[in-house]
Amino acid sequence: MFKTSSQNLARMRYDRMAFLYDFIEAPLERFRFAGWRARLRDRISGRTALEAGVGTGKNTPYYPDGVKIIAIDLSPRMLKRAHKKVVHDHPSVELLEMDAQQLAFPDNSFDTVFGTFVFCSVPDPVAGLRELRRVCKPDGRLLLLEHMRPESSFAGMIFDLLNPIVVRMVGANINRRTVENIRTAGWHIQVEEKLSADIVRWIEAV
Ligand SMILES: C[S@@+](CC[C@H](N)C(=O)[O-])C[C@H]1O[C@@H](n2cnc3c(N)ncnc32)[C@H](O)[C@@H]1O
């Protein structure tokens, strides 16, 4: 059971969005996101991996064979949609309703922890990133594909102004300082690649 109102709000927003999510994102998915997601196939490694905020399961086509994957999300309705894709693409994947800020796994459980477009919506992103660090093995790796606040002060200000509207409509914050949050959570960034201006980035950290 989720306790705080920010958790309930995030869950409520994604439950509400679930039936439209794939439809709304279809054009971006086709022309940009799918190519970026495909990196996961080569970069998820080890015996076990955790996906935080699996959503409707858009990464499942890129899960590599031979890695035991557990995927979690706060929203039961997003998970229900992910279930259909998992059954089709990777029946061995375990889907669980769980909060990334309070993971129910022991320390050092996973070789790879990963997420795509998730830390824009986790209510306390630093808490979620700390939890991923806790459950990641010391020689494990964090993989993230995330959108974030642009560095230019003018563009950043526009994103700050628009954020309250966007977050109410779709649940995602467009002005998160995700690189700083990753570092604050104790990760050391090894790869930071700007994919779409400096807004969408591929990040690998240890
Ligand atoms: C923008 S969607 C991205 C979904 C998917 N990763 C993708 O690439 O399409 C964000 C997802 O994060 C989930 N989420 C938000 N806060 C969460 C939390 N604290 N714990 C787990 N999942 C969370 C939402 O329910 C939603 O499914």
pLDDT given at position 6: 86
pTM of the model: 0.95
**Structural domain boundaries of the chain?**
5-205
Positive/negative CA dihedral, 51, 57, 63, 67: positive
- Give the least confident one: 10-14, 41-45, 86-90, 119-123: 86-90
**Is residue 57 lining ligand 1, measured as CB closer than 6 Å?**
no
Amino acid letter at 181?
N
**Is residue 99 lining ligand 1, measured as CB closer than 6 Å?**
yes
User: pLDDT digits over 127-158, tens only?
Assistant: 999 999 999 999 999 999 999 999 999 999 99
pLDDT given at position 3: 53
**Is residue 14 lining ligand 1, measured as CB closer than 6 Å?**
yes
Task: For residue 150, give both structure tokens.
Answer: 């642009």
Average pLDDT of the chain to the nearest whole number? 95
**Is residue 81 lining ligand 1, measured as CB closer than 6 Å?**
no
CATH of domain 5-205: 3.40.50.150
- Which ligand 1 atom sits closest to the C-alpha of 25? 9
Q: Give yes or no for residue 1 having a pLDDT over 60.
A: no
